[in-house]
Amino acid sequence: MAAEAPTASEYIVHHLQHLQNVKQTSIIDFSVFNWDSIAIAAVLGVIGSFLLWSAARKATSGVPGRFQAAVELLVEMVDNQAKATIHNVQSRKFIAPLALSVFVWIFLMNAMDLLPVDLLPWLWALAHGAAGHDPAHAYLRVVPTADLSTTLGLSTAVLLLCLIYSIKIKGLGGWLHELVTAPFGTSKNPVFAVLLGVANLGMQLIEYVAKTVSHGMRLFGNMYAGELVFMLIALMGGAAAMSLSGVLLPIGHIIAGTIWAIFHILIITLQAFIFMMLTLIYLGQAHDKH
């Protein structure tokens, strides 16, 4: 007897399951590793690095080809944004290439959402079954940026860089002094100085946490929502295959999928650009003295 087709909710739940080392039992569980996000992000990082390296190696001073011209436009755009936010020339030598890498890497991870929803999970299920395992338990999510652990990991790395540059530019003493004197200032009165110091420290900690969480959540939220929309569009085709009454659904499936894919190209590019710009802005703020 053929296996029953999953319901719409079962289909979505299955596609939202990660390939993990252990089953997640709580919202925050640092013992869980989402191997699919780690592996795909690593592969895309290598591909992005290779593309940039290839463009640099083949660069000529003559008339550039289309690929070289596209990379040059991208490099110029990132460099201009870095100059506008990072005024320290020495810092910019590291931060500008970092921002370029961030943009390309996140763009490639976002672009995985443009692949057919079931393509890679289906191939993974075949491989899983060939290895003697149950294909029904072959979980794979292919968009690393639709995984909160990925986006918060990226934003936490930006936070660490901000702390490093704050200490490097201002000195450890200068940075610690800023923590207790900005944004409300201080007072010559010892009592008011302590009160203001506590308030300033609290505001600084809130700012660090809020920037880091919002930085990661913004990218995650947009990509997670886009992933769900593609799943819902895929379900239109599935419903058509299971019901004669849904003969018009394939047409809606194709039209909706095409329109959303075209619109999603803008979203994945914009979200990569926003994450890169916020990275530059936060690192620029780490250079500012209050």
How does pLDDT run across 143-200, given as a tens digit for each residue?
Answer: 999 999 999 999 999 999 999 999 999 999 999 999 999 999 999 999 999 999 999 9
Binned at pLDDT 50, 70 and 90, residue 240 comes out as low
User: Cis peptide before 183, with omega less than 30 degrees from 0?
Assistant: yes
Q: Of residues 110, 149, 155, 222, which has the active-site annotation?
A: 222
Verify whether residue 80 is a known catalytic residue: no
Check residue 239 and give its pLDDT. Answer: 58
Q: Does the structure show a pLDDT above 70 at 232?
A: yes
Mark 164-200 as b/e (b = at least 16 C-beta within 10 Å).
Answer: ebbeebbeeeebeebbbbbeeebeeeeeeeeebbeeb
Q: Among candidates 10, 11, 211, 230, which has minimal Cα distance to 114? A: 230
Looking at residue 133, its amino acid is H
| pLDDT per residue as tens digits for the range 43-54 | 999 999 999 999
Q: Which sequence spans correspond to the domains of the chain?
A: 66-118+209-289
Check residue 244 and give its pLDDT. Answer: 47
Verify whether residue 214 is a known catalytic residue: yes
Q: Does the structure show a pLDDT above 60 at 1?
A: no
| CA-atom Rg of the chain in angstroms | 24
What's the whole-number mean pLDDT along residues 58-65? 85
Verify whether residue 92 is a known catalytic residue: no
Q: Of residues 187, 214, 243, 245, which has the active-site annotation?
A: 214
**Candidate ranges 60-64, 219-223, 231-235; pick with highest mean pLDDT:** 219-223
Check residue 171 and give its pLDDT. Answer: 95
% of the chain beyond a pLDDT of 90: 75
Q: Among candidates 284, 85, 24, 11, which has minimal Cα distance to 169? A: 284
Q: Among candidates 286, 249, 46, 272, which has minimal Cα distance to 160? A: 286
